[in-house]
Chains A and B, each alone.
Chain A
Amino acid sequence: MLLKEIAEKLSLKTFTPQVEMAKDVKGGYTSDLLSDVMGASKEGDLWITLQTHKNIVAVASLRELSAIILVKGFEPDRDTVEAATAENIPLLGTDLQTFEISGRLYNLLK
């Protein structure tokens, strides 16, 4: 499913309005441990996390993840937004907690 379609269906807000959202998402990965995401996520996964610092962009970019969703209304750090924009990683947000947003995304993609 296209990322922009997912963002609409899940009412996600975007912190990176300049970044292209017309990419295909095949799966998701939920984790707040960076080396877990590094080792176990798959290319194109939509990553759900509560981490808001810049290193999440490095991980998403290096692992070629499709986008990042911040949970529970967390706001990204300013340099996180700058890095995400520069690296073309859509940075999205939801007020839902991790369990709920993961479940909803799973239902959309299954």
Chain B
Amino acid sequence: MLTEYNVEGGDFTRAGYASSQIKKTLKNLNISPEIIKRVVVALYEAEVNIVAHAFKGVISADISNSGIKLVLEDEGPGIPDIDMAMTKGYSTASSRVREMGFGAGMGLPNIKDNADRFNIVSRVGEGTRVTIEIDFAG
């Protein structure tokens, strides 16, 4: 089952929409709460990163019997140094974004902690693709 969601950069009023839709879908499929929690945390962080850091993006969610694969592809500034971006506390968020309580530099580490497999590919000046896979069986 494949679903897609569009995400607009800068539009914080809709941040978390895809995460809440996918949470509902997984609940209906009777996926365990612990797995749903991991999906929700990882997806929310990746979704907010498009809103906070990129211009626009598309989230695709592919749910199979064995797990979920999330691909978040954006058009945006890209990430020059991925290892640096993965460091806890590192953030380039604007002051407007920080005032809202984003920009702690914890999003990517949260994604890594909750994903079974996680990958970032980025081109500076073009955009970023984040892939998150979470298995349904322990």
Chain B contact surface mostly: helix
Q: Which of B1-40 contact A (CB under 8 A)?
A: 12-13, 15-16, 19-20, 23, 33, 37, 40
Determine whether the beta carbon of B104 is less than 8 Å from that of A59: no
**Contact for A36 among B23, B48, B100, B104, CB less than 8 A:** B104
Number of cross-chain contacts by CB at 8 Å: 64
- Decide if A6 is an interface residue (CB 8 Å cutoff): no
- In Å, the complex CA distance between A55 and B51 comes to 12
Which of A49, A51, A54, A55 has the most chain B CB within a 10 Å cutoff? A55
Output the nearest chain A residue to B34 by Cβ-Cβ distance. A43
A58 at interface, CB cutoff 8 A: yes
Given contacts A34-B101, A62-B23, contact A55 B106 (CB under 8 A): no
A2: Cβ under 8 A from any B Cβ = no
Residues of A within 8 A of B (CB): 32-36, 38-39, 43, 49, 51, 53-56, 58-59, 61-63, 79
